[in-house]
Amino acid sequence: MKKVRKAVIPVAGLGTRFLPATKSMPKEMLPVVDRPVVQYAVDEAFEAGIEHIVFVTGRNKAVIEDYFDLHPELIGTLEQSGKTAQLQALESLLPVAGATSFIRQQSPQGLGHAVWCAREVIGDEPFALLLPDMVSFGGRGCLAEIADLYAQTGGNVIAVERCDPTETSKYGIVGCGADVGTGFEVTAMVEKPAPANAPSNYYINGRYILQPEIFSLLGNQQRGAGNEIQLTDAMVRLAQNQAFFAQPFNGCMFDCGSKEGFIQANVAFALSRDDMKEAVFDMLQEFVRTHERRVEAA
């Protein structure tokens, strides 16, 4: 079984759900507490053993490439002012030289098209895919969990979580087959089914390990929902010849591409940090306690 060494992180989408903030600022750079959303996906990937990350970028996204570069002026200023803790924290976040590639999607034609753009850099090996606006919280990190199942099964592995059964039409939903290790065999993948047609309430949460045969399928994939080239459509075709397994995630994923998910993530991460949890907890309690009074006064 080939090792998963590389990960694709697509960051070329327009982020229309988060307008107007995303008009000039990539949604992947919105901060959750004090780190941009994309940093969480990068940390998760390296912690799961990934050696090289391929970012698929587009226009207005140059700030992401700059963010993962060395910043000599900032380092000099922090050194001179003796801010060694901040300096060390910054340095620990920087990928080693040569561990990242940036390629252009040119125009956002859908997630499937973004993944296809990474084909030359990935080559003929399995790879991880992380949707960076889905921020993993709790557990060991979602990619590490699916990598464990992949080590047992090979093939293709996707992370899943349960959604409210009435809300299946918001997600890509999988059908559940036999249990395998800590996960199960996938019997179907359906994009945004109505609750009555959904094969389960397990939704695909934005972490994948895929075999390179997906690229040739994406290369001739017809446009699907939203007139975009959909990854799920190509995965359905790949599943005709290759096994797919699902690993239920033991933590939870916040959809930071939506305003509600972004706020949830900020609250959850703030409450998990020793340096701020007490202050944030007290602030939230006070906020809830006085909410009705403020609404009445408004």
Q: How far is the CB of 86 from ligand UTP (least distance, A)?
A: 28
Strand-pair category, 183-191 with 35-36:
unpaired
Q: How far is the CB of 221 from ligand UTP (least distance, A)?
A: 13
Buried b (16+ CB within 10 A) or exposed e, 122-132: beeebbbbbbb
What's the token pair of residue 264?
Answer: 């949830």
Contact 225, 160 (CB under 8 A): no
Where in 88-107 is the site for ligand UTP (CB under 6 A)? Answer: 105
The Cα–Cα gap between 192 and 203 comes to 9
Q: Residues 6, 29, 64, 133: which binds ligand UTP (CB under 6 A)?
A: 133
Contacts of 189 (CB under 8 A, 6+ apart): 172, 173, 174, 175, 204, 232, 235, 236, 239, 244
Choose between 118 and 238: whose C-beta lies nearer to ligand UTP: 118
Which residue has 């969480």 as its token pair?
A: 40
Contact 103, 121 (CB under 8 A): yes
Choose between 109 and 182: whose C-beta lies nearer to ligand UTP: 109
Nearest residue to 38 (alpha-carbon basis) of 62, 9, 14 = 9
Segment interacting with ligand UTP (CB under 6 A) among 5-13, 143-151, 267-275, 279-287: 5-13
Where in 227-286 is the site for ligand UTP (CB under 6 A)? Answer: 257
Is 4 a binding residue for ligand UTP by CB under 6 A? The answer is no
The amino acid sitting at 66 is D
Choose between 63 and 151: whose C-beta lies nearer to ligand UTP: 63
Q: Residues 4, 7, 8, 15: which binds ligand UTP (CB under 6 A)?
A: 15
Segment interacting with ligand UTP (CB under 6 A) among 10-18, 135-143, 153-161, 269-277: 10-18
Is 126 a binding residue for ligand UTP by CB under 6 A? The answer is no
Q: How far is the CB of 67 from ligand UTP (least distance, A)?
A: 15
Choose between 59 and 273: whose C-beta lies nearer to ligand UTP: 59
Q: Residues 111, 163, 238, 270: which binds ligand UTP (CB under 6 A)?
A: 111
Buried b (16+ CB within 10 A) or exposed e, 144-159: bbbbbbbeebbbbbbb
Q: Residues 7, 8, 13, 204: which binds ligand UTP (CB under 6 A)?
A: 13
DSSP element (H, E) containing 73:
helix 72-80
Q: How far is the CB of 243 from ligand UTP (least distance, A)?
A: 25
Number of residues that bind ligand UTP (CB under 6 A): 22
Give the footprint of ligand UTP on this chain (CB under 6 A).
10-18, 28, 56, 105, 108-111, 113-114, 131-133, 257
